[in-house]
Amino acid sequence: MAAPLPPDKVQELQALASRLVQPGARRGELIAAYRAANGGEPASDATVYRWLRQYAGYVPDRKPRSDKGSSRLSEDALAFIASSRLASVRADGRGTKPIAVAMDIAAQSGFTINVGEGTVARRLRACQMDLATQAKARTHIRMRSLHPNHVHQIDPSLCLIFYIGKKQYIMEEALFNKNKPAAMERVKLKVWRYTRYDHASRAIDVRYFEAAGENQASLFEFLMWTWGQQPGRLSHGVPKMLLWDKGSANTSAGIRRLLDALGVQHETHAAHHAWAKGGVESANYIVERQFESRLRDEPVTSIEQLNAASLAWVRDYNANAIQHVDARVRCDDGELRVRDDMWSTILQMPGALVEMPERKVCAWFMHGKDDQRTVRDNRITFVHPQAGKSVLYDLEPWAKEVYNGQRLTVAPMLIGTYALRVWLPAADGSDRHIDVEPVREFDQFGRPLGSVVIGQEYRTAPHSAAQQVAKQLAATTWGAGTSLDEAERNKTANARPFAHMNDGKGAVAHSHLGKTELPARLLPKAEPVQTADLVAARAARAVAPVLTLFEAARVLSGPAWLGKPLLPAQLALLRQLHPEGVPEDQLPALQQRLATRGALRVVGSD
């Protein structure tokens, strides 16, 4: 770093700056005079201007160009180039289409491109259309939840701890990384961390499972643990909504069926949108730093000991009861709050605390597939796990959406008393369902009290129209009004971008290649290859197939040749000329020879 100028030099620069801003000042002469007065120092005018900006705050009042802010490149052309490059971005964020290629495609697609690549690059940056800016274009909405147990976030992740025998090991980066999969494969049973985060109170829960990978059995055990009431842990209960990623265990039929039965609205975030559950990601970071970092100093020898230690840590951390550790949450209003204190406000929300049903009932949903039942007279029956017997359900309120003999998918609910969830097929393929309560009132003979009494009342059955399945066929294009989510879906579906351009012909990307007139060039005469193999190949003659004497006589007797059977003299001549067989290419010559011999024989016989 250059040494700062002495005070007298700074004063000279400030005086020079005041003269430079005077109207009509000749900057070049003033700068030259300053350098001459200082013995030619500094060595360049650029250094003087840099000193003026640094020490005197000088800003030259240059007249702006008359065409400042304008460009010969149209906004439509620039937008096409930007979107063409954006459409070629890989899933990992890498751009694969250079600006020059996008310019060529734009030019061939009807846009006027009359500027250079550098100008286009500057315009893209100035208009925030470059790939770097667009990669960060999506902003995140700040969301809130209404009360504790309103929204939970769950995330399973591989823990760095594993056990072999009764000894604890920790995966080191030097031995376990993506470039050394064999080291990871040696650890058959890995330790998986399942973390739960309550969005309102920020309460954290963690549980560890030893398994080869993510599976729905571990996830089921974690849900039973984290939503059940545990000694020493304050937060518990079934949430209204669950956010998580698209793991195979998360989206398995058994887990989804259990959540539906519990009345939990479950949603997975879109691919590459892990920020949607950023709370549980932060919770994982807290667990790693505040709990798992302690295990190296005080190892545990089994997964049971690990879970016992984690339960004690969860208890104290949520209560802010760990000495020297401030576990409070700094909220957006600037206040510091304890997690357990915030979760305790669930007492002020009637109906917010929902007890987890017993394990036996919940486990029923982890076996088999969703059941199907047949509609008969707008009714279905189902053996509900809570009832332990067949229960009758009346579908008359939805008579226009079902029909007799229809097979409907059903699943028992754990909320309510013997409630049943029934999925109704929709024309648009959407997932529609109804929650039906069972028929509860029966007469002493076991028939529903709502049924018609014979001879006392007359009632026609409601009209049951078969659901008309409609398929809406639409060509999805990336035209005006396309949202970001729609554009992502189009790209995932490999839809062709710009299909609406050029009267529906789409963009011209490569069909124009090979048509440009190229300059004529003088080339030397090529020398032939004279290898031994090529010389032998050129010298080789194709050998015609050889016919037997019988085959040759039959061919020559045909209508296309002599047109009659060969005479004995002709056969003798044929045998004399070709005793080993007749080459096929010799048949025309034989035809003339044998025709002459046949004519001579006829003359001699007269």
Could you state, in order of their start, the residue ranges of all structural domains in the chain?
7-55, 75-135, 151-348, 370-461, 546-605
Is the predicted pLDDT of residue 171 greater than 80, yes or no? Answer: no
Structure tokens at 580: 């080993």
Going by pLDDT thresholds of 50, 70 and 90, the confidence category of residue 543 is: low
350, 327, 358, 346: which is closest to 198 by C-alpha?
Answer: 346
Is the predicted pLDDT of residue 477 greater than 50, yes or no? Answer: no
In the prediction, which pLDDT does 206 show? 95
The stretches of 430-531 forming alpha helices (DSSP H) are 484-492
How much of the chain exceeds pLDDT 70, in percent?
76
In the prediction, which pLDDT does 485 show? 66
Residues 326-358 have pLDDT tens digits of: 999 998 888 999 999 999 999 999 989 999 998
Cis peptide bond prior to 42, omega within 30° of 0: yes
95-99, 233-237, 382-386, 533-537, range with greatest mean pLDDT: 233-237
Enter the pTM of the model. 0.47
Structure tokens at 245: 């990623």
Residues 366-412 have pLDDT tens digits of: 654 578 999 988 899 998 877 788 899 998 888 778 878 889 988 88
225, 191, 194: which is closest to 210 by C-alpha?
Answer: 191
The stretch 19-47 carries a mean pLDDT of: 78
Lowest mean pLDDT among 121-125, 380-384, 523-527: 523-527
104-108, 316-320, 397-401, 555-559, range with greatest mean pLDDT: 316-320
The stretch 90-115 carries a mean pLDDT of: 85
In the prediction, which pLDDT does 366 show? 66
CA angle in degrees (0–180, nearest 5) for 132-138-144: 150
* CA separation for the pair 188, 598 (Å, rounded): 94
Handedness of CA 69, 71, 77, 81 (dihedral sign): negative
Could you tell me if 281 and 269 are in contact, meaning their C-beta atoms sit under 8 angstroms apart? Answer: no
In the prediction, which pLDDT does 458 show? 61
Q: Which CATH architecture has domain 151-348?
A: 2-Layer Sandwich (3.30)
Strand partners, 146: none
Going by pLDDT thresholds of 50, 70 and 90, the confidence category of residue 96 is: confident
Lowest mean pLDDT among 129-133, 253-257, 264-268, 488-492: 488-492
Going by pLDDT thresholds of 50, 70 and 90, the confidence category of residue 224 is: very high
In the prediction, which pLDDT does 272 show? 45
Average pLDDT, the chain: 78
Going by pLDDT thresholds of 50, 70 and 90, the confidence category of residue 227 is: very high
Lowest mean pLDDT among 106-110, 176-180, 483-487: 176-180
In the prediction, which pLDDT does 299 show? 84
* CA separation for the pair 383, 479 (Å, rounded): 52
In the prediction, which pLDDT does 294 show? 87
Going by pLDDT thresholds of 50, 70 and 90, the confidence category of residue 479 is: low
User: What is the Cα Rg of the chain in Å?
Assistant: 44
Could you tell me if 189 and 167 are in contact, meaning their C-beta atoms sit under 8 angstroms apart? Answer: no
